[in-house]
Amino acid sequence: MTQQQETGCVLRLFGAQSTAVGKTVENFPPQWRAAAQWKSRGAETLVALQAQSPSGLKKAAQALRQAFSADLYGAGETTLPAAVVEALERHDKLLICADAAAGALLEARLENLPGAEKVFDFGAVSYANPKTGPLIEKRARLPKDCTDPLRQALARAQAARRVVGADLSAACAERENDCVLVLSCRKGCFLRTVPAGENPALWLLDIIRRTAANKPQAEGTGFLPARRAAKKDALPGPQPGRHPLRRVCMTLLVLALLAALAAVGAWEYTNGNFYALPEQLHTLLTEHVPRPGATLV
């Protein structure tokens, strides 16, 4: 093994902030005699480490691994798709796609990878299956007039996971200026909005890798617990607001009730003689007005 191989390595991160990488490198103790160069492209960051000794390299690499344990997906020539397959295999997880949009993001990147067919169905038993595909749509239980891509993707992802019996189910809600990635698992659904121009396939792969390995998601990835997700995929359409005329009628009804109560009170007070009400009220008021020189008790 050459000296270059002993004192240099490349770490691969996804979802890490470049500034955070820089701060970690700046904190390398001088005695390690280690340095790093890094380059980011999109959400992916490659960190090239160099040290004057194997022990210094080991310590520097370990510092980065600890600081970015969830973001680190591999070293050397490891690719993100290969890291996903490895994570699924190691944790014995089966991944499927709930719709063709998610299949288009994953299938081309996972095919021909060793072991991929053991952990990913490539649509064979899920959305592309002649029997399972329609069953997924049926189990999604969406209203016929539902046109919201996110609601559709969320419902399909959960339905597909239940129908197939898979551990993870991916879906993609395609919209005009972005797309929303959905990954359903037993605990709930992870969601991430990816703007147009970014690479949604890499983000979906990273969400799958982190979920399979039970690692924290990258900043910006949301989570919908299973109970809330179940309510959202069966969410009814917006309820019509109350008609303004109904509010007016309710107000008039309350006023009429108050007027009726006042009339009953006046009837009792005047013994049925409403004409005597003004005179009796005047007498009542004058009796309670203090006269000059009177002392209030």
The whole-number pLDDT of residue 122 equals 97
Average pLDDT estimate for 162-182 = 97
> What's the rounded Cα separation, in Å, for the pair 78 and 74?
5
Q: pTM of the entire structure? A: 0.75
How much is the average pLDDT of 144-159? Answer: 92
Choice between 222 and 266, residue whose per-residue pLDDT is larger: 222
Give the model's pLDDT for residue 230.
63
Give the pLDDT band (50/70/90) at residue 276: low
Identify the band that residue 187 occupies on the pLDDT scale cut at 50, 70 and 90: very high
DSSP codes of every residue in 44-87: EEEEEEEESSHHHHHHHHHHHHHHTTTTEEEETT--HHHHHHHH
C-alpha dist (Å) from residue 117 to 27, 89, 114, 134: 43, 10, 8, 23
Residue 288 scores a pLDDT above 80: no
Mean pLDDT of the chain: 86
Secondary structure E strands in the chain:
8-14, 34-41, 44-51, 72-75, 95-97, 168-174, 178-185, 188-195, 222-225
- pLDDT greater than 60 at residue 242: no
Q: What is the pLDDT of residue 142?
A: 82
pLDDT at 252: 72
Residue in this structure with the two tokens 């994570």, named with its chain if needed? 87
pLDDT at 270: 63
pLDDT of residue 3 exceeding 50, the answer is: no
pLDDT of 89 higher than 70: yes
Higher pLDDT, 216 or 267: 216
pLDDT in tens, 42-72: 999 999 999 999 999 999 999 999 999 999 9
Average pLDDT of 186-214? 97
Q: Select from 6, 2, 115, 107 the least CA-distant residue to 61.
A: 6
Question: What pLDDT, on the 0 to 100 scale, is given for residue 6?
Answer: 61
CATH of domain 82-233: 3.90.950
Between 75 and 234, the more confident residue is 75
What's the average model confidence in pLDDT over 137-157? 91
Residue range 3-78, CATH number = 3.30.70.2860
Classify 262 as helix, strand or coil: helix
State the Cα–Cα distance between residues 297 and 294, nearest whole angstrom.
Answer: 9
Residue 239 has a pLDDT of 37
Q: Please give the pLDDT value at position 264.
A: 64
Band of pLDDT at residue 257, cut at 50, 70 and 90:
confident
> Are 162 and 149 a contacting pair, CB within 8 Å?
no
- Lookup result for tokens 């399972």: 132
pLDDT band at 165 (very low <50, low <70, confident <90, very high): very high
Q: Express each pLDDT in 7-39 by its tens digit.
A: 899 999 999 999 999 999 999 999 999 999 999
